[in-house]
Amino acid sequence: MRWEVEAWRKLYKTEPVEQLLWNLLCRGLRDYLIRRAADDGVLFPSTKDPADDLCQALGARDSERDIVRTHVQTMLDDRFLVHRTDGALVVRNLVEAQTRRSKEAARKAAQRERKRAPEETGTPSGTVPGTSAGTGPGLSRDKYGEKKRIEKKRENPPNPPGGQARATPPKSNGAAHAAEPPTESGFDLALRCFRQAWGSRYGEEYLVGTNTGDNGDERVLQRVGREALRLGGEPVMRHWAQAYVADTEPWLVEHRHPARALERQLNKYATRPELRVVDTLDELDEDARAKREQDAEAQRLARTSGPPPTPEQLDLLRAKLRAGKS
């Protein structure tokens, strides 16, 4: 169920004292009718037998009909349900209960209305009605507006005698500010790299899931993106995404490598992921690249010549390879 798009009703924890004497099933039916009623509280716009019609509408079984009739009559006697003269069956006070605001919410709403009124009427905030904002009785009481006017005067002082205007210094270095590259959040980085890798495997754009919990796509990509920024940024994130979509674990293949499972797979893709994306790092210098190639060749020769080599044997093979290439 998608909770963010479903309609809902308020259900108060406090119950009227007289309703606490009702049967437990009767109180459960009461809460269910609150859910099923229309926004104006109407259950049936016209009915001659509320109990029978409710049994049919709610899908009561034959063995439950007598119980439902008894409870409906209890709610009619209490006037929780009202059978009006026009034939409508209504949950009394439903509209008031659903639209009633707490004191704090009502205070906030009144505050917003007061702030909105000056914008609609053109009257400065804090000005006494019927007067003008200036000196004397009509002086504006908005201390924040007065402070802004004083600061504006300081920033734009009057021209000196002689008619030559003062040169206003720039507030900030716009060129330097424009030259700064925009920063990318960890989530944006992770989503971009993951979509590129996932799209290259499946030939379509990855759609982020609607689950907003801790194990949903969004939260997982946020955490993975932050970790990638900490360890080196885009090269690390690109490596993780490519290694993940290439993983042949049966569950991942069956579910088409969802983003929500990326975080728990990271420990499979090396503790130093930058070593696996050498070909994508143009900024690495040639000496470092050559050293890695020599190390890889030394390990290959050591594996093909017998038992696993010791660290000393690997160092000796590296030295021989470097001497041979020089």
Checking if the pLDDT of 265 tops 50, the result is yes
Dihedral sign, Cα of residue 217, residue 219, residue 225, residue 227? negative
Residues 50 and 69 in one domain: yes
**What total of structural domains would you count in the chain?**
3
Q: Which residues contact 125 (CB under 8 A, 6 or more apart)?
A: 115, 118, 140, 142, 145
Same domain, 267 and 315: no
The Cα–Cα gap between 19 and 142 comes to 52
Average pLDDT over residues 149-172: 57
Q: Closest Cα partner for 37 from 108, 87, 114, 93?
A: 93
87 shares a domain with 37: yes
Q: Identify whether 158 is part of a domain.
A: no
pLDDT interval class at 162 (50, 70, 90): low
Query: Does residue 299 have a pLDDT over 70?
Result: no
Domain membership of residue 321 as a residue range: 286-325
- What's the pLDDT score for residue 282? 42
Please report whether residue 150 resides in a domain. Answer: no
| Residues 230, 311 within the same domain | no
Report helix, strand or coil for 200: helix
The one-letter amino acid code at 178 reads A
Last residue of a domain, one of 99, 115, 147: 99
pTM score above 0.75: no
Q: Classify residue 250 as exposed, middle or buried by CB count within 10 Å of its CB (0-12, 13-18, 19+).
A: exposed
Q: Where among 79, 99, 119 does a domain terminate?
A: 99
Confidence of residue 134 (pLDDT cuts 50, 70, 90): very low
Q: Are residue 290 and residue 245 in the same domain, yes or no?
A: no
